[in-house]
């Protein structure tokens, strides 16, 4: 093993040739012998730089439509030999195998091909075999070989050539090797995800994350791993924080429940809706959503299910809010909302949401399917003597959607397509209900004729009794308690309508 190695040869086999030309010329300037094959060799020749063809080294042509080009002992022996191992060097001499000091590879774009919607046969052909093998071999032998594994490394490699004239230190080679295994592991994870249909294995890989100012609190580091630009077009505002991103995610999940509804506006704070309303105009929906809790709305995240117009924007402008999200904005609305330099404006795109949810737990992770069930009229089962009216049914389904996206234990109170209040994240359902009732009264709402939604069943009739005394006339809940009948009996005795859905929506 040598601490510093002067490269004398390089094997180059890349898919992405953008930024490759200056590297080729610098290697040639340094007198480094180049080996290559196929399209990369042709590219090097176009640069008027001499190159030795791998086919000449191995005495084998590229075969099977290019599937086999570099998989040969004369290639891998040149990479994997240990320079300080006497037997390895004797075998290189015996079989006329040259040292390969640098391996520069860029893999077939498997991930991009999958994302493009290409056919299965096209995707399969983008599974790189030779390239990934070259990367693993060169990175394994980092003590003697420098491995450049991706187009994202081109600039770093070129800087190294300029600064050290083809010499690399052990720390240089180890750094490039670490990135090579990062590239190869990510690549294999994407292939596994494409093929996997039955395994419950958990493999998560992102090429890189975006550093955030801090995590949940200023003393915590934070980063976002994902493709934010695939989800939003950002029109304006400061960089999103860790907490912003959590609220934005909660807002998007909630508003998906109202995608096909009349104009709907929601205001969220700490991942829970503090205001939400569906109206004939978005402007009125915003006004009534804000009325639900104008105190909590301060510094909140706002989201609409339709284009934000100038009338709505002018109302929003009077409120201090962190983020405004919509599928579109009128030009005049953007002009108004951009007047606050830090206000974040996000245009939501259509994007495929992950079907699984993952979170850290103890010394591992929890994985579950996304809760894709939305309570609809078809699943409602009337369990009380008095049936719900059409108006009550609409309000119950409205409240149930909000309840599904509110921290458990939760109780949601609604009337006329408006969130009146909710009790969120309480340790008992009774506490959640009392919190919701008190909050509604504090903001001047009458609960006479309102409806109640619960994210889980009622083990005792206390909640329906408290709700009834506050004016609630209809209830929606999953059911499933062995004491369901106690709550049903109270409803029957007091002319309250109750429906059950059969589906619990806990959110922790």
**Residues in a beta bridge with 359:** 366
CA 235 to chain centre: 20
Which of the residues 270, 315, 317, 441 is marked catalytic? 270
Structure tokens at 187: 């690549």
Q: Would strands 264-269 and 272-278 be described as parallel, antiparallel, or unpaired?
A: antiparallel
CB-count exposure of residue 474 (10 Å: 0-12, 13-18, 19+): buried
Give the number of other Cβ atoms within 10 Å of residue 334's Cβ. Answer: 17
CA 16 to chain centre: 26
* Angle CA 376–379–381, to nearest 5: 120
Using CA atoms, how far apart are residues 230 and 224, in angstroms rounded to an integer? 14
Contact in structure between 500 and 381 (CB atoms under 8 Å): yes
Q: Is 270 marked active-site?
A: yes
3-state per-residue secondary structure call for 157-172: HHHHHHHHCCEEEHHH
Contact in structure between 347 and 235 (CB atoms under 8 Å): yes
The string of DSSP letters for 332-391 reads HHHHHHTTSTT-EEEEEPP-PPPSEEEEEETTEEEEEE-------GGG-EE-SSSPPPHH
Which of the residues 140, 143, 236, 391 is marked catalytic? 140
User: 286 vs 269, 275, 316, 374, 474, CA distance in Å?
Assistant: 15, 9, 8, 23, 25
What does R_g of the chain's alpha carbons equal in angstroms?
Answer: 31
Buried b (16+ CB within 10 A) or exposed e, 171-209: ebbebbbebbbbbbebbeebbeebeeeeeeeeeeeeeee
Structure tokens at 18: 């953008």
Using CA atoms, how far apart are residues 209 and 224, in angstroms rounded to an integer? 5
C-alpha closest to that of 130 among 175, 32, 179, 63 = 63
Strand order from edge to edge, sheet including 102-106: 52-53, 33-36, 9-14, 102-106, 146-148
Strand order from edge to edge, sheet including 411-415: 232-236, 344-348, 321-326, 300-304, 264-269, 272-278, 418-423, 411-415, 451-454, 474-477, 497-500, 381-382
* Percent of the chain that is helix, strand, coil (3-state, to 5): 40, 20, 40
What's the DSSP call for residue 396? H
Please count the residues of the chain. Answer: 508
Q: Is 99 marked active-site?
A: no
Which positions are annotated as active-site residues? 140, 270
């Amino acid at each position: 093993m040598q601490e510093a190695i002067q490269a004398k040869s390089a094997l180059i086999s890349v898919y992405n040739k953008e930024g490759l030309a200056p590297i080729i010329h610098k290697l040639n300037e340094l007198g480094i012998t180049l080996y290559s094959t196929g399209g990369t060799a042709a590219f090097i020749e176009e640069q008027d730089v001499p190159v030795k063809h791998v086919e000449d080294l191995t005495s084998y042509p590229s075969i099977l439509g290019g599937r086999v080009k570099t998989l040969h002992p004369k290639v891998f022996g040149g990479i994997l030999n240990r320079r300080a191992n006497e037997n390895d060097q004797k075998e290189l001499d015996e079989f006329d195998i040259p040292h390969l000091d640098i391996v520069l590879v860029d893999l077939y774009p498997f991930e991009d091909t999958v994302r493009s919607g290409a056919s299965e046969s096209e995707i399969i052909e983008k599974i790189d075999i030779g390239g990934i093998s070259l990367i693993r071999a060169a990175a394994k032998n980092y003590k003697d070989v420098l491995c450049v594994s991706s187009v994202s490394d081109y600039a770093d490699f070129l800087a190294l050539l300029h600064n050290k004239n083809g010499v690399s230190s052990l720390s240089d080679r180890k750094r490039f090797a670490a990135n090579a295994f990062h590239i190869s592991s990510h690549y294999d994870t994407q292939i596994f995800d494409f093929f996997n249909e039955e395994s419950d294995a958990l493999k998560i890989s992102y090429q890189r994350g975006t550093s955030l100012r801090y995590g949940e609190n200023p003393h915590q580091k934070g980063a976002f791993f994902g493709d934010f630009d695939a989800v939003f077009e950002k029109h304006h505002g400061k960089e999103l924080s860790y907490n912003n991103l959590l609220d934005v995610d909660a807002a998007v999940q909630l508003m998906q429940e109202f995608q096909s509804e009349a104009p709907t506006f929601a205001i969220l704070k700490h991942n829970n809706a503090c205001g939400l309303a569906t109206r004939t105009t978005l402007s009125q929906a915003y006004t009534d959503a804000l009325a639900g809790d104008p105190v909590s709305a301060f510094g909140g995240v706002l989201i609409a299910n339709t284009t934000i117009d100038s009338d709505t924007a002018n109302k929003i402008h009077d409120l201090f809010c962190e983020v405004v999200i919509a599928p579109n904005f009128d030009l005049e609305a953007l002009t108004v909302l951009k007047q606050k330099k830090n206000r974040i404006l996000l245009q939501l795109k259509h994007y495929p949401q992950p079907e699984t949810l993952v979170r850290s737990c103890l010394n591992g992770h929890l994985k579950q399917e996304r809760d894709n069930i939305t309570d609809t009229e078809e699943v409602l089962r009337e369990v009380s003597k008095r049936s719900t009216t059409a108006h009550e049914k609409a309000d119950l389904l409205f409240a149930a959607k909000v309840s599904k996206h509110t921290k458990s234990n939760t109780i949601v109170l609604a009337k006329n397509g408006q969130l009146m209040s909710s009790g969120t994240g309480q340790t008992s359902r009774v506490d959640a209900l009392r919190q919701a009732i008190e909050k509604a009264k504090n903001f001047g709402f009458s609960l006479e004729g309102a409806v109640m939604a619960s994210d889980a069943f009622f083990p005792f009739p206390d909640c329906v009794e408290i709700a009834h005394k506050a004016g609630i006339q209809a209830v929606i809940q999953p059911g499933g308690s062995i004491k369901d009948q106690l709550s049903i009996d109270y409803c029957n005795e007091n002319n309250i309508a109750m429906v059950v859905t059969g589906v619990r929506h806990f959110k922790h």
